[in-house]
Structure formats: C-alpha cells, structure tokens
Amino acid sequence: MIETDSPQTPTLSENIVDITPENFQQSLIDESMKRLVVVDFWAEWCAPCKALMPILEKLANEYNGQFLLAKVNCDEQQAIASQFGVRSLPTIALLKDGQPVDGFMGAQPESEIRQILEKHLPKEYEIAFKDALEKIAEGSLHEASSLLNAAYLAEPKRSDIAMTFADVLIELQNLEAAQAIIDSIPMQDQDNQYNQVKAKLELANEATDSPELKALEDQLAASPEDTSLIIDLAVQYQQAGRNEDALELLLVCLRKDINSADGEVKKTMTDVLSALDNADPTKARYQRKLYTLLY
C-alpha cells in the first residue's frame, strides 16, 4: 500500500477523479473491473499536459460514464507515477480489468484519442444489452424488449443477445417473434441456454392451443365469411400471443371489404396493432399493409 500524509480524496465528478493513495485501489483497480479507466499522468509545469487535459475532460463528459478519467498529479503523487513507470509527461495509460491495455505519451489530437478509446469502449449494442439485463432484473420487460431489439438488429450474430431477446418475447407472449429468433440460432450456439428457451417456447405454444381456440378455428372453417367469428378468433389469437395470425386473419377480411362488420374488423386490427410493442417488427409490417388498404 502506498503511504501518504494527505488525507484528501478529491472527486471532481462521476466521470473524472483526482487520484490519491486513498482512492488508488477503488478508482483505478476496482473501477477498471467495471469500465475503462483512462489515467492521465500530468504536472502543473507541463505545457503539453495542460493542452491535453481539456480534451480528455471533454471526452470523459461526452462519453458520459463509459470511461473514468483518473488524473494523477505527478508532482504530488510521485510514488503512484513511479509505480506505473512514468518517464515523461504527459503519459496516458488505459486500464481494463486491473491491467494496462493501451496508452500513449505526449499530447495527441482529439481524433487520435477518439480512435484509441473506440478500440476499448463498449459498442452501442453492448450498452443496450447491458441496460436490457438491468431492466429485466427490475421487471420492466417492455423496456427490456425495446433495448434488446436494438441490440439484436445491430448484432444478430450474438446468440446470447438473441436468446435473451427470445426469452423476453416469450414472457410478453410474442411467441411468433420468439420462434423466428430461436429458428435463427446456428447449430454451434445451441447450448443449455438455447435448450431452456426453446423448451419454454414449446410449453408456451402448447398453452395457446386451448379447446376454446380450436373450437373457434373449426367454426370459422365451417363459416369462413362470418365476420363475428373472424373477430372472436383474432382476439383469441392476440391473447395467446399469436399476433401475426390475428393480424393476417383480419387483413384478409379487410381486403375483401375495408368496412367489414360496420368497421369492427378494422377497429379490431387497429386495437391488436396498438397492443404490440413498438419494437416488434410485426407491428410496423402490418401497419404498412393496413395503410396501403386505407389509402
């Protein structure tokens, strides 16, 4: 442990901190286990340091918590600078998981610093995935679904994202979308998580095949022009998470008569669309189809 007579541990913000022996472990080592830490070794007499520091502070605030800027005044904290082997100023070290992963010496233009940071900062889809996991833990599944949709669209080959998204969709009774995602998982990624989510989906699908729903399907097969049966079956499909089946059934009816059942079929389709999450691609697809019929 590095000793010092100074009791101060000044903190400038959540994204920028002055390093002292007292906060060395927490702000450098421990924090680097959670996010990237950019260590700026500087001194008052160093002109390039003073040119570089405003750029680093601007970036720390702009990236808003994606990395911590840890400033080490080498005149005041010589033992810390020596521990890092600093030989010239300014020196920048990037820490991740307690270890240096990159760095540079001397003042650099903002564009160069951005390029260095981007190599080590999480991608937008990774941030969305992390936020989604927090929303799931809170029980905010609709918010999690929107975040997972963004992450999945950005990186569909990340099977952990895909399977988490499918799991949330099952909870939200959007079984068709969940099935499409499960079907897209490549063989090499079909692990225990995949088997668990697939089994959960199969159970959910079995639960949707209620006797009432099957009875309605049989009645409609016998009377395919009965709009009241079409509406009742569409509502049952929607409640069972079979949203695309519901929308397709109503759309076929509307193609024959846009004002079918005095507008009740159109109203039912609008209600089903309104109930869908905005992140659900089914919603946008059938909104376009309905718009085409209307206009």
pLDDT (tens digit, 9 = 90+) per residue, 212-260?
888 999 999 999 999 999 999 998 888 887 888 999 999 999 999 999 9
The catalytic position among 28, 38, 39, 46 is 46
* Single residue among 155, 184, 208 that ends a domain in this structure: 208
- The continuous run of DSSP H or E covering 180 comes out as helix 175-184
Question: Phi and psi of 101, rounded to 5°?
Answer: -120, -15
DSSP structure string for 230-255 = HHHHHHHHHHTT-HHHHHHHHHHHHH
CA 102 – CA 263 distance, rounded (Å): 65
- The continuous run of DSSP H or E covering 151 comes out as helix 141-154
Count other C-beta atoms under 10 Å from residue 262's C-beta: 9
Q: Total domain count for the chain?
A: 3
Domain that holds residue 180: 124-208
46 is catalytic: yes
- CB–CB of 70/12 below 8 Å? no
CA 295 – CA 9 distance, rounded (Å): 66
Whole-number pLDDT of residue 242: 84
Question: Phi and psi of 261, rounded to 5°?
Answer: 55, 45
Kindly report the CATH number assigned to the domain that includes residue 218: 1.25.40.10
CA 32 – CA 93 distance, rounded (Å): 12
Do 180 and 276 share a structural domain?
no
Q: What is the CA radius of gyration of the chain?
A: 28
- CB–CB of 21/3 below 8 Å? yes
Asked if the structure places residue 62 within a domain, the reply is yes
The gap from C-alpha 242 to its chain's centroid, in whole angstroms, comes to 25
- Cis peptide upstream of residue 90 (ω within 30 degrees of 0): yes
Do 134 and 116 share a structural domain?
no
Do 132 and 178 share a structural domain?
yes
Whole-number pLDDT of residue 151: 95
The catalytic position among 49, 60, 107, 151 is 49
- Residue 13 clears pLDDT 80, i.e. is over it: no
Name the pTM for this structure. Answer: 0.59
* Single residue among 173, 208, 243 that ends a domain in this structure: 208
Do 218 and 185 share a structural domain?
no
Beta bridge partners, 202, equal none
CA 152 – CA 160 distance, rounded (Å): 10
Asked if the structure places residue 2 within a domain, the reply is no
* Single residue among 120, 148, 175 that ends a domain in this structure: 120
**Closest to 165 in 3D by CA, of 285, 287, 277, 35:** 277
Asked if the structure places residue 71 within a domain, the reply is yes
Q: CA angle, corner 268, sides to 263 and 274, nearest 5?
A: 125
pLDDT tens-digit map of 144-174: 999 999 999 999 999 999 999 999 999 988 8
CA 92 – CA 42 distance, rounded (Å): 9
CA 139 – CA 227 distance, rounded (Å): 38
- CB–CB of 234/244 below 8 Å? no
Do 227 and 195 share a structural domain?
no
Asked if the structure places residue 81 within a domain, the reply is yes
pLDDT tens-digit map of 23-76: 999 999 999 999 999 999 999 999 999 999 999 999 999 998 899 999 999 999
Per-residue confidence band for 277, with pLDDT thresholds at 50, 70 and 90: confident
Do 22 and 116 share a structural domain?
yes
CA 36 – CA 97 distance, rounded (Å): 8
Whole-number pLDDT of residue 236: 87
Pairing outcome for strands 91-96 and 36-42: antiparallel
